[in-house]
Amino acid sequence: MISPLFPIHSVSASRVASGTANAVSRILQEATHLRDSDASEMKLHAARLRLEIGRSGRPLNSLAACFALTYEVIRQQRNLELHPCQISGGLIVARGGVAEMATGEGKTLTSVQAAALWGLAGRGMHVVTSNDYLAQRDATELAPIYAALGLSVGCITKHSTPEQRRKAYRCDITYATAAEVGFDFLRDRMTLGASQSSTSGRRHHIPSADQTSTGLLQRPLFAALIDEADSVLIDDARTPLVIGSETEQTRADRSLFRWCAKRVATLQIDRDFSLLPANRQALLTTAGMQRLLLGGAPRFSAGLTSEDLLTTAERMLEAIHFYRRDKHYTIEKRKIILLDESTDRPLPGRKLQAGLHHCLEAREGLPITAGSKTACQISVQSLFRMYDHLGGMTGTGRDAASEFRRIYDMRVSAVPTHRPSQRSRFPPRVFHNAAARDYAVISATLKQLQAGRAILIGTPSVAASLRVSRALEEAGISHSVLNALQEAEEAKIIAAAGQPGRVTIATNIAGRGTDIRLSDDVQEAGGLHVILTEMNPSARVDRQLIGRCARQGDPGSYQFLLSLDDELLQRLSPQQRSVLKQRSLPLINGELPCRWLNLFRRIQREQEQRDTRNRTDMLKVESQRRDTCRRMGLCPYLETIE
């Protein structure tokens, strides 16, 4: 018998997450008994496990046996043995927790263990990924491992037809994004709402019936494993998944939006309106209202009231001052495409509510699209709270540990890295304005290039990435840009980012999913150097970008280069920003003392606290609404009552 790579009787507690050492040792011990098993014997073992889990209804009772079997299948197929830290991470996820694992520690194979366990229950295991590319990649690459365990695998993307979706959901394991799972849930709610009488009641779980005969897409929500759990369950928690029905946009409506786009441009801040950046809210003053109402009506104003005009004007001010092109949205084929603020990924088909989307169209001089009436909606937060079993993985979970516990009843456990970290932190620097900071970015980039290293420059938005790109072009520095406009090239650009002399500018889209592998020359020169040109509203997003360097014991370093023009500081009022600028004027060469970093950290911390409160408040409101609807025998997700 071949001896295992790791000692099986005493796995060091320092190499695994707290409380998992004994279980890891047992799994490695059981795996040795499967070493001489061939493929048919392994599948027979899996069939017995499936039968055992089906009879008991308790997959966790078979956890050690399933993990040992999965371990051996991976060893035989991939010619590698899972590290104790990977087994430990799988245990955390399978038990309903969040495993915090550093970038490059093998989260993909870690997830297979938990997915296989819950997949053997035969009730549908959903593995939720960041985007369609990762869903397709993982479903395809991992299919042979699952097949060896007798498990079927499906994948759903935005291009999947209804029949393809039904087939994928009937599989033991289904890969998809949160949006696809959520929208399919809503489509089933609409199907049930149309076919059931209001007196029969509407349950949030899908009835156990044949999907084809009922016209439903999904089975009842059973188990889900969330990759990048903090991004999905925390950052996107408030994101509404909405299915709307078009409403006719009248000539008066279109005229009103275009009229407001022109008229509010003449208004002055403080005199005519005030801004509340923290809430993205604009409020007209009495003077502003008078100026608008006395300035003439839109060309086609029949049926419009003064309240319509003033409300739309405030929405237009919000669109102008709080929604920026290439930060919050982009334009494709003369249509507004929203961007995810956490990942910078495009969100085709999504629309801002309360007229904001039409305000953006009018502001950009685009055709005013049809109105939309909400037919069915649910938040990401509410969707995943409905699963019977929920687990997740991320590189940055500890900062949100209390929220994971309070909202989802999930404990966050840190998994030690397989090798000691060699990440170095360069002193942060703060500058008076963006121009001075960009000059520092160029200088730092040239210095690291001369050392033979690869450089990743992180930016918070498409607009910021394009600005830094122009600065590098003017300095004659060859580089690649990865943002929402190049989403299709993401994996290719990231895969090449670890080569000598490579400079890559990336938005938050680069923080998830694909590893940066270093060439030998770059490793010897000091590894990947990450430059963060701004702080994000969440420290977790910064940590994700920092985590791109020094993976799996490689050398690497990072540095913050910030300025008072950064987007994080736009959350301050204009008066506060003006005071900051004045206080920084007497300082020399555009660079400020390092104590100014405390300002950025304070604003970031306040924004995180505000976001947490907003998510908690939204959950309370949604819970009250659902309870009310159910007491009335109504579906809480349908907006209309038949």
Q: Are residues 172 and 237 in the same domain?
A: yes
Q: Is residue 218 part of a domain?
A: yes
- Domain with residue 280: its CATH number is 3.90.1440.10
User: With contact defined as beta carbons under 8 Å apart, do 22 and 91 qualify?
Assistant: no
| SS3 of residue 411 by DSSP | coil
**End position of a domain, from candidates 301, 336, 369:** 369
Q: Which residue has the tokens 């200088």?
A: 443
Rounded Cα distance, 368 and 298, in Å: 15
Which of 572, 554, 543 is CA-nearest to residue 518?
A: 554
Q: Find out whether 129 is annotated in a ligand binding site.
A: no
Whether residue 610 lies inside any domain: the answer is no
- Domain holding 311, by residue range, is 249-369
Q: Is 86 annotated as a binding residue?
A: yes
| Predicted local distance difference test score (pLDDT) of residue 307 | 85
Examine the domain organization and report whether 455 and 570 are in the same domain: yes
CB atoms within 10 A of CB 569: 19
Is 627 a domain residue?
Answer: no
Q: What is the pLDDT of residues 24-49, one digit of tens each?
A: 999 999 999 999 999 999 999 999 99
How big is the CA angle at 641 (ends 635 and 642), to the nearest 5 degrees? 110
400 within 8 A of 416, measured Cβ to Cβ: no
**pLDDT of res. 14:** 57
Q: What are the residues whose beta carbons fall under 8 Å from the beta carbon of 637, sequence distance 6 or more? A: 186, 189, 204, 376, 377, 378
Residues 360 and 397 in one domain: no
Q: Judge if 337 and 448 occupy the same domain.
A: no
Q: How far is CA 351 from CA 37, 346, 348, 405, 512, in A?
A: 54, 12, 9, 31, 25
pTM of the model: 0.84
Is 152 within the bounds of a domain? yes
* pLDDT reading at 3 higher than 50: no
Contact 478, 554 (CB under 8 A): no
Please tell me whether 107 is known to bind a ligand.
Answer: yes
Q: Residue 143 and residue 133: Cα distance in Å, rounded?
A: 15
Are both 225 and 365 inside the same structural domain?
A: no
Rounded Cα distance between 391 and 115, Å, is: 10
Q: Round the average pLDDT of the chain to a whole number and report it.
A: 87
* 224 and 313, same domain (yes or no): no
The reply to whether 106 sits in an annotated binding site is: yes
Element (H, E) at 481: strand 480-482
User: Do 395 and 431 lie in a common domain?
Assistant: no
Task: Read off the CATH number of the domain in which 167 is found.
Answer: 3.40.50.300
Whether 509 shows a pLDDT value over 80: the answer reads no
Which tokens in the block code for residue 133? 């590319």
Instruction: Please count the other Cβ atoms lying within 10 Å of the Cβ belonging to residue 299.
Output: 12
354 and 385 inside one domain = no
At 143-197, the pLDDT tens digits run: 999 999 999 999 999 999 999 999 999 999 999 999 999 999 999 998 887 444 3
226 and 257, same domain (yes or no): no
484 domain residue, yes or no? yes
The pLDDT assigned to 319 comes to 94
Residue 527 belongs to some domain of the structure: yes
Residue 11, pLDDT > 60, answer no
In the chain, the number of structural domains is 3
Is the same domain home to 219 and 315? Answer: no
Task: Please check whether residues 236 and 276 belong to one and the same domain.
Answer: no
143: in domain: yes
In a domain, 309, yes or no: yes
Q: Where are the alpha helices (DSSP H) in 120-177?
A: 132-148, 162-170
Matching residue, tokens 């940590």: 543
Residues 138 and 33 in one domain: yes
**b/e for 469-494, b at 16 or more Cβ within 10 A?**
bebbeeeebebbbbbbbbbeebbebb
